[in-house]
A and B are shown apart, each in its own frame.
Chain A
Amino acid sequence: MHGTRILQEADRLMTVCNSCRYCEGLCAVFPAMEMRRAFSDGDLNYLANLCHACGACYTDCQFSPPHEFNVNVPKTLAVARAESYAAYAWPRAFSGAFARNGLVISLIAALSVAAFIFGFAAINDPGVLTGIHTGPGAFYRLMPHNAMALLFGAALLYAIVALAMGVRAFWRDIGEPVGMKTDAKSLLQAVRDAGELRYLDGGGVGCFNEDDHPTDRRKLYHHFTFYGFALCFAATCVGTLYHYLLAREAPYAWWDLPVVLGTLGGVGLVVGPIGLLSEKWKRDRVLVDEQQMGMDTAFILMLFLTSITGLALLLWRESAAMGPLLALHLGVVFALFITMPYGKFVHGIYRFVALVRYARERQMMAEQAPTAVIPGGAQRRTRNDE
């Protein structure tokens, strides 16, 4: 028996799938399943987070609905995945944030933006907020650099601690040693698999989205989003280093590294989220956990707002709109940071961790005799044919 109804259903499906195994070439989930004969809660949460929701196993399955075996792996694992996010949340008191995520994120974002606007207005002389500021240190006339660095550093640090605690809970749940004895090889493999979204491709043809014609669009928009986010983050880091190491103050010229990185990243973070959102709206509802739509949309919109406000700030930084735009941008980014551990952002983290474990399992399978038992109960591989 399992802790929740959805894990009970996931167990039923993995039992069906493990007696079939036709999908073993599509992604990582099925080979990982084949290493086991029975499934603990932790095993199912691991498989749920390993699933990239490409939909191929649903389209390819001879037992998907309306067949009486009613096999819908992508949807079942999506629900299990969402429930696992809440279960691993730290502190536990905040796990409810996942249930009404759209509402929670929009409230926090609105409050955060409002706080920056009022903060700028309250701390500074009247007129500074809507004044025109140019040259090095222009932004810091609204908020001192050290205060900005401290506030955002703290928010980021909090997010990192909360995420690490979540990962710790996940790692424990899937039965791995707390010390995370992952070798460099598994980590490197997981970085590669995550970096190229190896398993978001239906085994090679692409994702199944609105019909049974696979496309690469979801993968492409994910790449835009992820690498856009990474470039924006790099821009911030370079800016901070400029400030403290080279004593060069923002705003920087359009050709300077932080601006180039931020602009490229910002464009990625506009194109990616818009694409993801449109794919999401088109997606066949049979493949998705509709309860999650609020959370998914909230995260996509937060990323979009981050980039669009950042780009707006770049465009109008020498006008009177700079003050309000800076407040808007900082408010959105602050909200993004502090809500990271309580929203869709975590999917990337847990999926990466699942990929690390998968890489490790595969390695152990390769190193040991085919009949060897690995943690979780690996089995000799057998194939169905007739």
Chain B
Amino acid sequence: MVDLTRRFDVLVIGGGNAALCAAISARRAGASVLVLEGAPRFYRGGNTRHTRNMRCAHDAATEILTGPYTEEEFWKDLLLVTGGQTDEELARFMIHESKDILNWIVEQGVRWQPSLGGTLSLGRTNSFFLGGGRAMLNALYRTAEELGVDILYDAEVIDLVIEHGMFLSAQLKQPVGGRTEVRASTLVAAAGGFEANIEWLKQYWGEAADNFLIRGTPYNRGAILKMLLAKGVQEIGDPTQCHAVAIDARAPKFDGGIITRHDSVVFGIVVNKHAERFYDEGEDIWPKRYAIWGRLVAAQPDQIAYIIFDSTVVTSFMPTLFPPIAGATIAELAGKLELDAAALEKTITDFNAAVQPGTFDHTILDDCATQGITPAKTHWARRIETPPYLAYPVRPGITFTYLGTRVNKQSRMLMKDGKPSANMFAAGEIMAGNVLGKGYAAGIGMTIGSVFGRVAGREAAKNARN
């Protein structure tokens, strides 16, 4: 039983990668640490549950990385995906620190996936967690427990007492040992964004948000973020924006994770509920290939769309959780999708007629394009003509939100007046907007979590001792 009569050196709110890195690093620096995870034990860790890899800079190939990925190249990639919406000083600091994280995270018990024979299973920029994100989390929790970090699950925080930028205590919804007040010398907020809070999303998206599917657990409600912003912490990031991909419309409302995502857009066409195309399906490869499709589908009527392809490309992408819906004719497929058959036939006939000859290669921006239709398909355009015709219904899958708390290089929160908080730190998705103002690069969420989690824990421990 955790003793809430005591005053902890460091209180960590949240239970994912950033929270655990903060807890471990604070504990290793000699602080007493309590972690409050709002979710039940099985769902602990927020979005970390569904992650797979982390992007870290490194100067040479290693056993798990096929080549160097310099700080400069990482910075350029970040600049590209954010379109410049990043704090350069903070971003460069994170990129520099990421180099050491590759080893530090292993010291915390996390294991990288080794080569499965050759380099086919390895990346150059990103390292993969052996067993995935939950395996990574399990390792961090084991280490935290062994170090003597106290952890409470189902520990929903309903209020924070903050005076003049100084954290005093947190209020639990359910009492532990008869107490609901948690006192600590410092706070590390690592409680994620508000992607599972449909009402909050509706403020920016209106009723359309009812048709959004949430890729992570229902516990990412942004309660801590909201409290901090309401109590004088400076905000960062566009509140209206979120990272969204196209996921199968048959997926559960919450926690469908990565397996409901569809990567097949480039192999066919995408139509809305009026059976009309609405965007160039061949615009780009990773990460745009699916990273843009969540928001594109969100802008369509009823937030639904259909990826349509034929039997020749079925084995070109990863096997999917839900099988494609099939029809021997376009009309039959339209019937199953409840689309207007004549409209779908016209869309596909027009598309097929516009496809120009070319040499198909899905690994590059090839020369297979359409001519004379709008929108054009600028790469990988091939006729849809070999039955059975197949389709995946897709909806926006909300992954994370960009709104967060402003921090400095100590991971210390900044107040609205620009002054650093006396004892409050933030790490992970709750402050990701500092370096990732928009866009996304694979594995960068975990980099933000581990780097700033480690820094926040260390700084909080130092702060608590002074």
Contact at A366–B261, with CB atoms within 8 Å?
A: no
Q: Is the CB of A26 within 8 A of B130?
A: yes
Instruction: State which size class the interface on A falls in.
Output: 35 or more
* Nearest CB in chain A: distance from B434 CB, A: 21
Interface residues in B243-271 by Cβ distance below 8 A to A read 245, 252, 255, 257-259, 261
Report if B240 contacts A (CB, 8 A): no
Whether a CB of chain B sits under 8 angstroms from the CB of A256 is no
A180 to B52, CA, bound (A): 39
Give Cα A56 to B136, complex, Å.
12
Establish whether residues A25 and B142, one from each chain, have CB atoms under 8 Å apart when the complex forms. Answer: no
Let me know if B126 is at the binding interface, CB within 8 A: yes
Tell me how far the C-beta of A36 lies from the nearest C-beta in chain B, rounded to whole angstroms.
9
With both beta carbons as reference points, the residue of chain B lying nearest to A36 in the complex is identified as B319
Q: Given contacts A382-B318, A386-B258, are A60 and B132 in contact (CB under 8 A)?
A: yes
* Distance (whole angstroms) from the CB of A50 to the closest CB of chain B: 15
Residues of chain B within 8 A (CB-CB) of A124 are none
Q: Which A residues touch B230, using CB under 8 A?
A: none
User: Is A131 on the interface with B (CB-CB < 8 A)?
Assistant: no
Residues in chain B near residue A362, CB distance under 8 A: 117
Contact (Cβ within 8 A) B257 A205: no
Tell me, yes or no, whether B315 is within 8 Å of chain A by CB: yes
Chain A interface: which of B108-116, B154-162, B296-304, B384-392? B108-116
- Is B255's CB under 8 angstroms from A19's CB? no
Q: Does A16 contact B (CB under 8 A)?
A: yes
Q: How far is the CA of A15 from the CA of B208 in the complex (A)?
A: 31
Q: Which of B53, B121, B257, B315 contacts A24 (CB 8 A)?
A: B121
Q: How far is the CA of A186 from the CA of B261 in the complex (A)?
A: 37
Assuming A20-B258, A66-B42, is B135 touching A59 (CB within 8 A)? yes
B111 and A205 contacting across the interface, CB-CB below 8 Å: yes
Instruction: Indicate if the CB atoms of B121 and A20 lie closer than 8 Å.
Output: no
Check if B259 sits within 8 Å of A19, measured CB to CB: yes
- Whether A370 lies near B120 (C-beta < 8 A) is yes
B138 located at the interface, meaning its Cβ lies under 8 Å from any Cβ of chain A in the complex: yes
Q: Report the Cα distance A18→B317, complex, angstroms.
A: 12
Q: B443 near A385 (CB under 8 angstroms)?
A: yes
Which listed residue (B114, B134, B258, B442) contacts A25, Cβ 8 A?
B114
Q: How far is the CA of A381 from the CA of B258 in the complex (A)?
A: 17
Choice from A66, A68, A212 contacting B138 with Cβ under 8 Å: A212
A385 and B126 contacting across the interface, CB-CB below 8 Å: yes
Q: Once bound together, how far apart are the Cα atoms of A283 and B53, in whole Å?
A: 31
Consensus secondary structure, chain A interface: loop
Tell me which of A15, A67, A382, A383 contacts B255 (CB under 8 A).
Answer: A67
A376 within 8 A of B: no
Contact between B259 and A20, CB atoms less than 8 A apart:
yes
Q: Given A16-B259, A62-B257, does the pair A386, B111 have CB atoms closer than 8 Å? A: no
Contact in complex: A379, B258 (CB < 8 Å)? no
Nearest-neighbor residue (CB-CB) of A373 within chain B = B315
Give A24 to B53 CA distance when docked, in angstroms.
14
Given known contacts A62-B49, A66-B42, A31 and B116 CB-to-CB distance under 8 angstroms: yes
Task: Output the least CB separation between B320 and chain A (Å).
Answer: 6
Tell me if A381 and B52 are in contact (CB < 8 A): no
- Give, as a whole number of angstroms, the nearest-CB distance from B364 to chain A: 16
Say yes or no: A384 contacts B52, CB within 8 Å.
yes
A204 on interface, CB distance cutoff 8 Å: yes
Query: Which residue of chain A lies nearest to B132 when distances are taken between CB atoms in the complex?
Result: A22
Q: Are A384 and B134 in contact (CB under 8 A)?
A: no
Known contacts: A62-B134, A384-B318. The answer to whether A24 contacts B258 by CB under 8 A is no
A363 and B318 alpha carbons, distance in the complex (Å) = 22
Query: Does A382 lie within 8 Å of B123, measured CB to CB?
Result: no
Q: A residues 302-338 with Cβ under 8 Å of B?
A: none
Q: Does B50 contact A (CB under 8 A)?
A: yes
Number of A-B residue pairs with CB-CB distance less than 8 Å in the complex they form = 107
A366: chain B residues within 8 A (beta carbon): 117-118
Of B52, B134, B252, B255, the residue contacting A386 (CB under 8 A) is B52
A62 touches B50 (CB 8 A): yes
Contact across chains for B53 and A385 when beta carbons are under 8 A apart: yes
For B49, what are the chain A residues with a Cβ–Cβ distance below 8 Å?
62
Residues of chain B with a CB closer than 8 A to A205's CB: 111
Picked from A19, A26, A365, the residue with its CB within 8 Å of the CB of B319 is: A19
Chain B residue with Cβ nearest A25: B113
- Contact of A23 with B118 at beta-carbon distance under 8 Å, contacts A59-B138, A60-B138, A62-B257 already known: no
B131 in the interface (beta carbon within 8 A): yes
* Contacts A23-B132, A62-B49, A205-B111 given; does A384 touch B117 at CB 8 Å: no
The reply to whether A25 and B130 contact each other, CB–CB distance below 8 Å, is yes
Q: Which of B50, B131, B443 contacts A23 (CB 8 A)?
A: B131
Question: How far apart are the CA atoms of A67 and B261 in the complex, in Å?
Answer: 18
Specify the chain B residue showing the minimal Cβ separation from A366. Answer: B117
Contacts of B51 in A (CB 8 A): 386
- Quick check: B320 and A19 within 8 Å, CB to CB? yes
| Cα distance, A385 to B117, chains bound together (Å) | 19
Q: What residues on A are CB-neighbors of B259 within 8 Å?
A: 16, 19-20, 63, 384
Judge whether A385 and B123 touch: CB under 8 Å: yes
A37 contacts chain B at the CB level, 8 A cutoff = yes
Chain B 123-148 interface mask (CB, 8 Å, partner A; 1/0): 10010111111110010001000000
The CA of A203 and the CA of B258, in the complex, are separated in Å by 22
Interface centre among B120, B259, B321, B442 (most CB of A within 10 A): B259
- Chain B nearest Cβ from A355, distance in angstroms: 15
Q: Which of B26-53 contact A (CB under 8 A)?
A: 42, 49-53
Distance to closest chain B CB from A361 (angstroms): 11
Minimal beta-carbon separation of B145 from chain A (angstroms): 9
Contacts of A365 in B (CB 8 A): 117
A366 to B116 alpha-carbon distance, docked (Å): 11
- Cβ-based interface call for A213 (8 A): yes
A379 and B315 contacting across the interface, CB-CB below 8 Å: yes
CB of A309, distance to nearest CB on chain B (Å): 42
Interface membership of A114, Cβ < 8 A: no
Check A37 against B315 for contact (C-beta < 8 Å): yes
Q: Is the CB of A62 within 8 A of B133?
A: yes
Complex Cα gap A270–B164 (Å): 69
Q: Mark B220-253, 1 if CB is under 8 A from A, else 0.
A: 0000000000000000000000000100000010
- Top 7 nearest A-B pairs (CB, nearest first) are A22-B132, A60-B131, A60-B135, A25-B113, A19-B259, A19-B321, A62-B49
Can you sample 21 A-B contacts with CB below 8 Å? A18-B318, A19-B319, A20-B257, A22-B258, A25-B121, A37-B319, A56-B135, A59-B138, A60-B131, A60-B132, A62-B132, A62-B255, A205-B111, A213-B142, A365-B117, A370-B120, A381-B121, A383-B121, A384-B318, A385-B443, A386-B51
Sample of 19 more A-B contacts, CB < 8 Å, known A62-B134, A383-B121, A385-B128: A16-B259, A18-B318, A19-B321, A22-B133, A22-B135, A24-B113, A26-B131, A31-B116, A37-B315, A63-B259, A68-B252, A204-B111, A205-B111, A212-B142, A382-B317, A385-B53, A385-B123, A386-B52, A386-B261
